Amino acid sequence: MGDCCRHANFFRLCSGLRVLGYAMVLLVAIIVAVSYYAVVFVAWGPRLLHGGPLSILAFAVVVPFHILLVMLVWSYLMVVFHDPGAVPMDWYPASKDNIEATSSASLSDHTALDARMSSLEESERRPSIRYCSHCQNNKPPRCHHCSVCQKCVLKMDHHCVWVVNCVGARNYKFFVLFLFYTFLETVLDTLALLPYFIKFFGDARNHSGSPGHLAVTFLSFVLNLAFALSLLCFVIMHTSLLLSNTTTIEVHEKKNVVEWKYDIGKRRNFEQVFGTNKLLWFFPMYSKHDLENIPALLGLEFPTRSDFEV
C-alpha cells in the first residue's frame, strides 16, 4: 500500500479539470444565448419598430450589445484556441555577452590564468537556468510547468478552466480583453434588463406577460449582475498585474523582493503585453512589427529594470 502511494502520480488527477473546462465552455455558450434572447428578442429588439425616442433608445442598446458580443466571442476563441507558448526542445538562452566572450577567445591566445578568469566572468554573466524534470527540458525565465496541460508554459499566469487552456505569454492579452469585454457586456445587459426585472414582479403578481419571457428576463438579469460584480474584481486584479508586469503566479515571489525586476514602468509594462500599435490595443491580435521587436510577446526573453537604468 505504501509503495503504491509512493509511486502514484497524483498530478494526473489534474487532467480531470479538462472535462470541467469543457463544461465551462458550454456554460459560457448557454449564458450568452440566454442573454442574447432576453436583450434582443424579448426586451429591446421589438422596440426598434415602435418609432420615436423608444426606438432610438433601443438602437443605443442593441448596437453596442452586438459590438461587445463580437469582441467578447472573438477574444474568448483566441484564448481557447491560441497556444499560450511552449518551450522549444533543447532550449538554451542565447547570451550576447557569452557569444562575444567566446569569439574573442578564439581570436587571441590567452594564458591559462586569463582563460580561468574569463571562464569565471562568463559563469557570472550566464543566467541561472532552471530545468523541468517532467518535460526534460530547460525552462526560460517566468516559465512554469502546468500539471493540467502537462507542459511548460511560457510566462504562465494560470490555468483557466473557463477557457480549457493555460493563460501565458502568447494569449494573456486575449484573456485580458475577454475579461474586459465580458465585464462591459454584463454591465450593459444588467442595465438594459433592470427595468424589465423591476417590471417582472408586477407582471408575475398580475399574471400578465409570457411566463417564458418573464423567466428568461429574470434569469438573464440575475446571471449578468452576478458575473458583472465578480468580473469587476478580476478586471481590477489583472489591470494591477498588467501595469506592474506581474503574473498571478509571481505575486508571492514579488512580495519577497524590494524591487520587482520586470517592472519597467507602467507604459512599458503595458506594451510588453499589448504591443506598441495603439490601433490594435482593443483587438485580440498583434502587428507583425510588434512580434518581431518585442521579445516578451513570444515569452522567451524579458527586459528588466537594469536594462533601462542609466
Determine the Cα–Cα distance for residues 259 and 240; give it in Å rounded to an integer. 16
Q: Are 242 and 269 in contact (CB under 8 A)?
A: yes
Determine the Cα–Cα distance for residues 173 and 17; give it in Å rounded to an integer. 23
- Give me the count of residues in the chain: 310
Q: Of 143, 146, 149, 160, which residue is the catalytic one?
A: 160
Q: Is 5 a catalytic residue?
A: no
Determine the Cα–Cα distance for residues 76 and 281; give it in Å rounded to an integer. 16
Point out the residues that are catalytic: 160
